[in-house]
Amino acid sequence: MVLFPLCKLLSGSVRVTKKQLVLYCLLLSLLVYFLRWRRAVLKVDTHPLPLSLEAESGSVVRDIVVGSVEEQQQRLPLETSWGAPLVWGDSNGSAWRRAEFAHRSIRTGLLTLAVGPYGHFLRRFLSSAELYFLPGNTVVYYVLTDSPRALDPPTPLGPGRELRVVPVAEMPGWEHLAQGRMALLAATIKDSVRHEVEYVFCMDVDQELVAPVGTEILGELVATLHPELYGMPRHTFPYEHEPASLAHVEEDEGDYYYTSELYGGLCADVYAMAQACSQLILQDQEKGLRARGLEESYLNRYLINRRPTCVLSPEYSWWDSALAADVPTRRVVSLGRQCDTLEPQKRQEQDC
Protein backbone atom coordinates (compact mmCIF):
# COMPACT_ATOMS: atom_id res chain seq x y z
CA MET A 1 0.00 0.00 0.00
CA VAL A 2 2.86 2.34 0.79
CA LEU A 3 5.44 0.73 -1.44
CA PHE A 4 3.38 0.75 -4.67
CA PRO A 5 2.94 4.58 -4.87
CA LEU A 6 6.52 4.96 -3.66
CA CYS A 7 7.81 2.86 -6.57
CA LYS A 8 5.90 5.06 -9.00
CA LEU A 9 7.32 8.13 -7.31
CA LEU A 10 10.90 6.85 -7.60
CA SER A 11 10.38 5.93 -11.24
CA GLY A 12 9.21 9.46 -12.04
CA SER A 13 5.86 8.31 -13.41
CA VAL A 14 3.93 10.51 -10.95
CA ARG A 15 4.47 13.94 -9.56
CA VAL A 16 3.84 14.74 -5.92
CA THR A 17 3.94 17.84 -3.79
CA LYS A 18 6.56 18.44 -1.15
CA LYS A 19 3.95 17.73 1.54
CA GLN A 20 3.11 14.36 -0.02
CA LEU A 21 6.82 13.46 -0.24
CA VAL A 22 7.28 14.16 3.47
CA LEU A 23 4.23 12.00 4.22
CA TYR A 24 5.60 9.10 2.16
CA CYS A 25 8.97 9.30 3.96
CA LEU A 26 7.22 9.29 7.34
CA LEU A 27 5.13 6.24 6.41
CA LEU A 28 8.21 4.40 5.16
CA SER A 29 10.07 5.12 8.40
CA LEU A 30 7.14 3.78 10.43
CA LEU A 31 7.07 0.63 8.31
CA VAL A 32 10.80 -0.03 8.83
CA TYR A 33 10.45 0.56 12.58
CA PHE A 34 7.53 -1.88 12.77
CA LEU A 35 9.43 -4.62 10.93
CA ARG A 36 12.46 -4.25 13.18
CA TRP A 37 10.29 -4.28 16.32
CA ARG A 38 8.43 -7.36 15.16
CA ARG A 39 11.68 -9.25 14.47
CA ALA A 40 13.07 -8.38 17.93
CA VAL A 41 9.90 -9.54 19.68
CA LEU A 42 9.75 -12.84 17.82
CA LYS A 43 13.43 -13.64 18.36
CA VAL A 44 13.90 -16.31 21.06
CA ASP A 45 17.22 -15.95 22.84
CA THR A 46 19.48 -19.01 22.96
CA HIS A 47 20.48 -18.29 26.56
CA PRO A 48 17.45 -18.23 28.89
CA LEU A 49 17.67 -16.54 32.26
CA PRO A 50 18.49 -18.54 35.39
CA LEU A 51 15.69 -19.85 37.56
CA SER A 52 13.44 -17.27 39.18
CA LEU A 53 10.99 -17.64 42.01
CA GLU A 54 7.26 -17.12 41.97
CA ALA A 55 6.85 -15.06 45.13
CA GLU A 56 3.40 -16.13 46.24
CA SER A 57 3.36 -19.87 45.54
CA GLY A 58 7.07 -20.49 46.09
CA SER A 59 7.15 -22.66 42.95
CA VAL A 60 10.11 -22.54 40.61
CA VAL A 61 9.55 -21.19 37.11
CA ARG A 62 11.81 -20.33 34.19
CA ASP A 63 11.47 -16.93 32.57
CA ILE A 64 10.68 -16.90 28.85
CA VAL A 65 13.35 -14.62 27.46
CA VAL A 66 13.01 -12.69 24.24
CA GLY A 67 15.23 -10.07 22.72
CA SER A 68 18.96 -9.78 22.16
CA VAL A 69 21.81 -11.16 24.23
CA GLU A 70 22.49 -7.59 25.34
CA GLU A 71 18.94 -7.31 26.67
CA GLN A 72 19.35 -10.59 28.52
CA GLN A 73 22.57 -9.42 30.16
CA GLN A 74 20.70 -6.37 31.45
CA ARG A 75 18.21 -8.68 33.19
CA LEU A 76 20.84 -10.68 35.09
CA PRO A 77 21.22 -9.79 38.79
CA LEU A 78 24.53 -7.98 39.14
CA GLU A 79 24.61 -7.36 42.88
CA THR A 80 23.76 -9.19 46.09
CA SER A 81 21.44 -7.78 48.74
CA TRP A 82 24.50 -6.65 50.77
CA GLY A 83 26.09 -4.83 47.83
CA ALA A 84 28.69 -7.37 46.69
CA PRO A 85 29.09 -7.82 42.91
CA LEU A 86 27.44 -10.92 41.44
CA VAL A 87 29.78 -11.75 38.59
CA TRP A 88 28.75 -12.75 35.06
CA GLY A 89 31.79 -12.82 32.81
CA ASP A 90 30.36 -10.90 29.86
CA SER A 91 28.60 -8.16 31.83
CA ASN A 92 29.68 -4.53 31.76
CA GLY A 93 30.49 -4.81 35.44
CA SER A 94 32.99 -7.59 34.75
CA ALA A 95 34.56 -5.53 31.97
CA TRP A 96 35.04 -2.67 34.44
CA ARG A 97 36.50 -5.02 37.02
CA ARG A 98 39.00 -6.37 34.49
CA ALA A 99 39.92 -2.80 33.52
CA GLU A 100 40.69 -2.00 37.17
CA PHE A 101 43.34 -4.74 37.25
CA ALA A 102 44.66 -4.23 33.71
CA HIS A 103 47.64 -2.14 34.76
CA ARG A 104 48.43 -3.95 37.99
CA SER A 105 51.05 -6.65 38.42
CA ILE A 106 49.21 -9.40 40.29
CA ARG A 107 50.40 -12.81 41.41
CA THR A 108 47.63 -15.32 41.98
CA GLY A 109 47.81 -18.86 43.26
CA LEU A 110 45.58 -21.66 42.00
CA LEU A 111 45.54 -24.43 44.57
CA THR A 112 44.17 -27.92 43.98
CA LEU A 113 44.26 -31.28 45.73
CA ALA A 114 45.01 -34.29 43.52
CA VAL A 115 45.11 -37.44 45.63
CA GLY A 116 44.11 -41.03 45.00
CA PRO A 117 41.96 -41.51 41.88
CA TYR A 118 41.50 -37.76 41.51
CA GLY A 119 45.06 -37.48 40.22
CA HIS A 120 43.63 -38.79 36.97
CA PHE A 121 42.11 -35.35 36.28
CA LEU A 122 45.23 -33.31 37.02
CA ARG A 123 46.73 -32.91 33.55
CA ARG A 124 43.43 -31.91 31.99
CA PHE A 125 42.87 -29.44 34.84
CA LEU A 126 46.28 -27.81 34.36
CA SER A 127 46.03 -27.71 30.57
CA SER A 128 42.65 -25.98 30.70
CA ALA A 129 43.87 -23.54 33.37
CA GLU A 130 46.80 -22.63 31.13
CA LEU A 131 44.32 -21.63 28.44
CA TYR A 132 41.66 -19.87 30.46
CA PHE A 133 42.62 -19.04 34.07
CA LEU A 134 43.61 -15.37 34.39
CA PRO A 135 45.10 -15.22 30.87
CA GLY A 136 48.02 -12.81 30.64
CA ASN A 137 48.55 -12.74 34.41
CA THR A 138 51.14 -14.35 36.70
CA VAL A 139 49.80 -17.60 38.16
CA VAL A 140 51.41 -20.10 40.51
CA TYR A 141 49.84 -23.58 40.54
CA TYR A 142 49.97 -25.33 43.90
CA VAL A 143 49.30 -29.05 43.48
CA LEU A 144 48.84 -31.01 46.69
CA THR A 145 49.30 -34.64 45.71
CA ASP A 146 50.19 -38.06 47.09
CA SER A 147 51.73 -38.99 43.70
CA PRO A 148 54.29 -36.30 42.72
CA ARG A 149 55.69 -38.56 40.00
CA ALA A 150 52.37 -38.39 38.20
CA LEU A 151 53.50 -34.99 36.95
CA ASP A 152 56.51 -36.44 35.12
CA PRO A 153 56.98 -35.15 32.51
CA PRO A 154 55.62 -31.83 33.77
CA THR A 155 52.82 -30.06 31.92
CA PRO A 156 54.26 -27.31 29.64
CA LEU A 157 53.60 -23.88 31.13
CA GLY A 158 53.45 -20.50 29.46
CA PRO A 159 55.25 -17.26 30.42
CA GLY A 160 54.49 -16.08 33.93
CA ARG A 161 53.26 -19.52 35.03
CA GLU A 162 54.89 -21.60 37.75
CA LEU A 163 54.19 -24.99 39.32
CA ARG A 164 54.70 -25.94 42.97
CA VAL A 165 54.19 -29.58 43.93
CA VAL A 166 53.30 -30.11 47.60
CA PRO A 167 53.55 -33.77 48.69
CA VAL A 168 50.77 -34.91 51.05
CA ALA A 169 49.87 -38.21 52.67
CA GLU A 170 47.42 -40.51 50.94
CA MET A 171 43.80 -39.84 51.94
CA PRO A 172 41.71 -42.88 50.97
CA GLY A 173 38.04 -42.30 50.34
CA TRP A 174 36.13 -39.16 49.42
CA GLU A 175 34.84 -38.57 52.95
CA HIS A 176 38.35 -38.54 54.45
CA LEU A 177 39.46 -36.20 51.69
CA ALA A 178 36.56 -33.80 52.20
CA GLN A 179 36.97 -33.80 55.98
CA GLY A 180 40.70 -33.09 55.82
CA ARG A 181 41.00 -30.75 52.86
CA MET A 182 40.35 -27.48 54.72
CA ALA A 183 43.15 -28.25 57.18
CA LEU A 184 45.54 -28.99 54.30
CA LEU A 185 44.61 -25.77 52.50
CA ALA A 186 45.08 -23.69 55.65
CA ALA A 187 48.50 -25.23 56.35
CA THR A 188 49.68 -24.75 52.76
CA ILE A 189 48.55 -21.14 52.61
CA LYS A 190 50.23 -20.39 55.94
CA ASP A 191 53.51 -22.16 55.14
CA SER A 192 54.15 -21.03 51.56
CA VAL A 193 51.31 -19.56 49.50
CA ARG A 194 50.88 -16.31 51.44
CA HIS A 195 54.57 -15.51 50.98
CA GLU A 196 54.45 -15.86 47.19
CA VAL A 197 51.10 -14.58 45.89
CA GLU A 198 48.50 -11.93 46.68
CA TYR A 199 45.37 -13.90 45.81
CA VAL A 200 44.68 -17.60 46.02
CA PHE A 201 41.82 -19.68 44.58
CA CYS A 202 41.00 -23.24 45.57
CA MET A 203 39.48 -25.46 42.90
CA ASP A 204 38.50 -29.12 42.72
CA VAL A 205 40.86 -30.94 40.39
CA ASP A 206 38.06 -32.77 38.57
CA GLN A 207 37.07 -29.55 36.82
CA GLU A 208 37.86 -28.19 33.39
CA LEU A 209 37.98 -24.54 32.36
CA VAL A 210 36.24 -24.13 29.01
CA ALA A 211 36.03 -20.32 28.67
CA PRO A 212 38.03 -17.36 30.00
CA VAL A 213 38.06 -16.77 33.76
CA GLY A 214 39.61 -13.34 34.12
CA THR A 215 40.40 -10.80 36.80
CA GLU A 216 36.69 -10.11 37.25
CA ILE A 217 36.82 -12.91 39.86
CA LEU A 218 39.31 -11.13 42.13
CA GLY A 219 38.11 -9.91 45.50
CA GLU A 220 38.81 -10.07 49.22
CA LEU A 221 36.63 -13.15 49.82
CA VAL A 222 35.11 -14.87 46.79
CA ALA A 223 32.45 -17.60 46.74
CA THR A 224 30.66 -19.35 43.87
CA LEU A 225 26.95 -20.10 43.57
CA HIS A 226 25.93 -23.75 43.38
CA PRO A 227 24.51 -24.29 39.85
CA GLU A 228 21.74 -26.67 40.92
CA LEU A 229 20.54 -24.41 43.73
CA TYR A 230 20.82 -20.98 42.16
CA GLY A 231 17.35 -19.44 42.04
CA MET A 232 15.84 -22.21 44.11
CA PRO A 233 13.75 -21.52 47.25
CA ARG A 234 15.86 -21.24 50.38
CA HIS A 235 14.11 -24.20 52.03
CA THR A 236 15.63 -26.49 49.37
CA PHE A 237 19.21 -25.58 50.34
CA PRO A 238 21.01 -28.57 51.92
CA TYR A 239 22.21 -26.65 54.96
CA GLU A 240 23.11 -28.66 58.03
CA HIS A 241 19.96 -29.24 60.12
CA GLU A 242 21.51 -31.01 63.12
CA PRO A 243 21.45 -28.41 65.95
CA ALA A 244 24.41 -30.01 67.71
CA SER A 245 26.66 -29.55 64.67
CA LEU A 246 28.80 -26.43 64.38
CA ALA A 247 27.72 -26.25 60.72
CA HIS A 248 24.06 -25.90 61.75
CA VAL A 249 22.06 -23.17 59.97
CA GLU A 250 18.84 -21.76 61.40
CA GLU A 251 15.69 -21.56 59.26
CA ASP A 252 15.91 -17.80 58.88
CA GLU A 253 19.62 -17.73 57.97
CA GLY A 254 21.37 -17.81 54.62
CA ASP A 255 21.20 -15.92 51.33
CA TYR A 256 22.60 -18.39 48.79
CA TYR A 257 24.02 -21.88 48.75
CA TYR A 258 27.68 -21.90 47.71
CA THR A 259 29.62 -24.72 46.09
CA SER A 260 32.93 -25.96 47.48
CA GLU A 261 34.29 -26.46 43.95
CA LEU A 262 35.68 -22.91 43.68
CA TYR A 263 36.39 -20.20 46.24
CA GLY A 264 39.21 -17.79 46.92
CA GLY A 265 40.31 -14.22 47.53
CA LEU A 266 43.15 -12.51 49.33
CA CYS A 267 45.48 -15.02 51.01
CA ALA A 268 44.74 -13.73 54.51
CA ASP A 269 40.96 -14.01 54.02
CA VAL A 270 41.08 -17.47 52.46
CA TYR A 271 43.42 -18.68 55.20
CA ALA A 272 41.07 -17.37 57.90
CA MET A 273 38.15 -19.19 56.28
CA ALA A 274 39.99 -22.49 55.76
CA GLN A 275 41.38 -22.41 59.29
CA ALA A 276 37.99 -21.66 60.85
CA CYS A 277 36.25 -24.39 58.84
CA SER A 278 38.93 -26.95 59.68
CA GLN A 279 38.55 -26.22 63.39
CA LEU A 280 34.76 -26.59 63.21
CA ILE A 281 35.15 -29.91 61.37
CA LEU A 282 37.63 -31.17 63.98
CA GLN A 283 35.36 -30.19 66.88
CA ASP A 284 32.39 -31.95 65.29
CA GLN A 285 34.52 -35.06 64.68
CA GLU A 286 35.44 -35.14 68.36
CA LYS A 287 31.71 -35.18 69.16
CA GLY A 288 31.10 -37.94 66.61
CA LEU A 289 29.25 -35.58 64.26
CA ARG A 290 29.59 -35.22 60.51
CA ALA A 291 27.73 -32.56 58.55
CA ARG A 292 25.53 -33.76 55.70
CA GLY A 293 27.45 -31.74 53.11
CA LEU A 294 30.87 -32.43 54.65
CA GLU A 295 33.20 -29.46 54.12
CA GLU A 296 30.63 -27.63 51.97
CA SER A 297 28.33 -27.38 54.99
CA TYR A 298 31.02 -25.64 57.05
CA LEU A 299 31.91 -23.39 54.11
CA ASN A 300 28.30 -22.23 53.88
CA ARG A 301 28.10 -21.73 57.66
CA TYR A 302 31.20 -19.52 57.55
CA LEU A 303 29.90 -17.49 54.58
CA ILE A 304 26.68 -16.76 56.41
CA ASN A 305 28.67 -15.29 59.30
CA ARG A 306 31.05 -13.47 56.98
CA ARG A 307 29.43 -12.70 53.68
CA PRO A 308 31.71 -12.81 50.61
CA THR A 309 32.80 -9.54 49.04
CA CYS A 310 32.44 -11.04 45.56
CA VAL A 311 30.00 -13.75 44.42
CA LEU A 312 30.61 -15.69 41.21
CA SER A 313 27.61 -16.78 39.17
CA PRO A 314 27.04 -20.46 38.22
CA GLU A 315 29.04 -19.77 35.04
CA TYR A 316 32.10 -20.50 37.17
CA SER A 317 30.89 -23.87 38.46
CA TRP A 318 28.58 -25.78 36.17
CA TRP A 319 27.83 -29.32 35.11
CA ASP A 320 25.34 -30.98 32.79
CA SER A 321 22.33 -31.60 35.00
CA ALA A 322 18.57 -31.27 34.67
CA LEU A 323 18.68 -29.08 37.79
CA ALA A 324 21.55 -26.82 36.73
CA ALA A 325 20.60 -23.22 35.98
CA ASP A 326 20.97 -22.05 32.40
CA VAL A 327 23.84 -19.59 32.07
CA PRO A 328 25.00 -17.30 29.25
CA THR A 329 28.48 -18.89 29.19
CA ARG A 330 29.81 -22.06 30.77
CA ARG A 331 33.27 -21.20 32.06
CA VAL A 332 34.16 -23.99 34.51
CA VAL A 333 32.64 -27.46 34.15
CA SER A 334 32.80 -30.13 36.84
CA LEU A 335 33.80 -33.32 35.03
CA GLY A 336 33.52 -35.32 38.23
CA ARG A 337 29.89 -34.35 38.83
CA GLN A 338 28.99 -35.07 35.22
CA CYS A 339 30.78 -38.41 35.28
CA ASP A 340 28.77 -39.46 38.34
CA THR A 341 25.59 -39.35 36.24
CA LEU A 342 26.93 -41.40 33.30
CA GLU A 343 26.67 -45.08 32.49
CA PRO A 344 29.95 -47.06 32.67
CA GLN A 345 30.44 -47.02 28.89
CA LYS A 346 29.87 -43.26 28.70
CA ARG A 347 32.25 -42.74 31.62
CA GLN A 348 34.96 -44.54 29.68
CA GLU A 349 34.24 -42.50 26.54
CA GLN A 350 34.48 -39.28 28.54
CA ASP A 351 37.76 -40.43 30.13
CA CYS A 352 36.26 -40.13 33.63
**Catalytic option among 208, 261, 295, 296:** 296
State the first-to-last Cα distance of the chain, in angstroms, to the nearest integer: 64
CA nearest 184: which of 198, 206, 162, 168?
Answer: 168
204 known member of a binding site: yes
For 104-117, give the DSSP string. Answer: S--EEEEEEEE-GG
| CA torsion through residues 95, 97, 102, 108, sign | negative
Residue 9 backbone phi and psi in degrees, to 5: -60, -45
CA distance 266 to 284: 27
Which helix (H) or strand (E) segment holds residue 201: the answer is strand 199-203
List, in order, residues 6 or more apart from 100 with CB less than 8 Å away. 215
CA distance 301 to 280: 10
206 known member of a binding site: yes
| CA torsion through residues 241, 299, 94, 130, sign | negative
CA distance 96 to 93: 5
Q: Are 142 and 221 in contact (CB under 8 A)?
A: no
Which helix (H) or strand (E) segment holds residue 140: the answer is strand 138-145
253 is catalytic: no
296 known member of a binding site: yes
302 known member of a binding site: no
Known binding positions for UDP-N-acetyl-alpha-D-galactosamine: 118, 204-206
Binding region: 118, 204-206, 226, 296
Q: Active-site residues: which are they? A: 296
Binding-site annotation, residues for Mn(2+): 204, 206
